[in-house]
Structure 1
Amino acid sequence: MIDTRTAPYAALLLRLSLGILFLAHLGLKLFVFTPAGTAQFFSSLGLPGGLAYVTMLWELVGAIALILGIYSRLVALAMIPVLLGAIFTVHGPAGFFFTNPNGGWEYPAFWIVGLLALALVGDGKYALKPSRRA
């Protein structure tokens, strides 16, 4: 049974934490690796370097939308391909544990589960623009 008194806070907490995580990873790409360095890394993986800029923009827009609660269900689903890309290009070959060199895929996979949970639970009443209910 769902506790309707606390469920809106759970959705808010989930939205905020997922959005902040995307901002943190965007910050790494912007301030630590630099956009040019990130593009070069994408190229080293056999991906188009320009995809790095698309990914950074995707992370920024998605993070803000999650934090503010703007169509959170849809945004949560739209953010999953970013993490799948990270799993299949970088973290998957490194093995399961995220403590492995190049980080394993356990953390991005868990992050995907959080996004799926948010898509299922919904925006919560503290969202700026709730998604339409099915």
Structure 2
Amino acid sequence: MLDNKTAPYGALLLRLLLGASFLAHVSVKLFVFTVPGFVGYFGSQGLPPLMAYLAIALELLGGLALIFGVYARWVAVPLVFELLGTIAVVHGKLGWEFNNKGGGWEYPAFWAAALVAFILLGDGRCALRPSRRAG
């Protein structure tokens, strides 16, 4: 049974943690790998460079939208597909453990599942622009 008094706070906590995780993840791309390095990595995986820029934008804007609660449920949908794409293209062939060289697939899979749980729960408390108004 869902506790209607505390569930919105649980969704808020999940939203904040997911958003912070995406900001941390994109920060590595920007400040460690650098944009040119990340674009080159995408190319080495056989992906078009434009997709690298789209991934950076999605993670940066998506992370902020999650944290601030701006249409967060809708923003979470493309983030799920991005994570599933990383499993299909990169992490899936590296094994289960994320501590494998290059990272495994269990962390992106868990992250995608957490996003789906958030989508099902809703925006939670303190969303600046809820995805759907309560009726």
- Compute the TM-score of the two structures, normalised by the length of structure 2: 0.94
Q: CA RMSD in A?
A: 1.3
Q: Distance in 1 between matches of 2:81 and 2:121?
A: 20
- The percentage of counterpart residues that share the same residue type is 56
Shift >4 Å, 4+ stretches: none
Aligned-partner residue type, residue 54 of structure 1? L
Aligned length: 134
Query: 2:60 aligns to what?
Result: 60
Aligned-partner residue type, residue 87 of structure 1? I
Query: 2:130 aligns to what?
Result: 130
**1:63-95 alpha-carbon deviations (Å, 9 max, x no partner):** 111001111111111211211121112110001
Query: 1:71 aligns to what?
Result: 71
What is the correspondence of 1:5-44 to structure 2 with a 5 Å cutoff? 5-44=5-44
Matched residue SS, 1:129 = coil
Answer yes or no: is the 8 Å Cα contact 1:70–1:129 preserved in 2: yes
Q: Distance in 2 between matches of 1:115 and 1:44?
A: 28
1:3 is aligned to 2:3: yes
Q: Distance in 2 between matches of 1:36 and 1:88?
A: 23
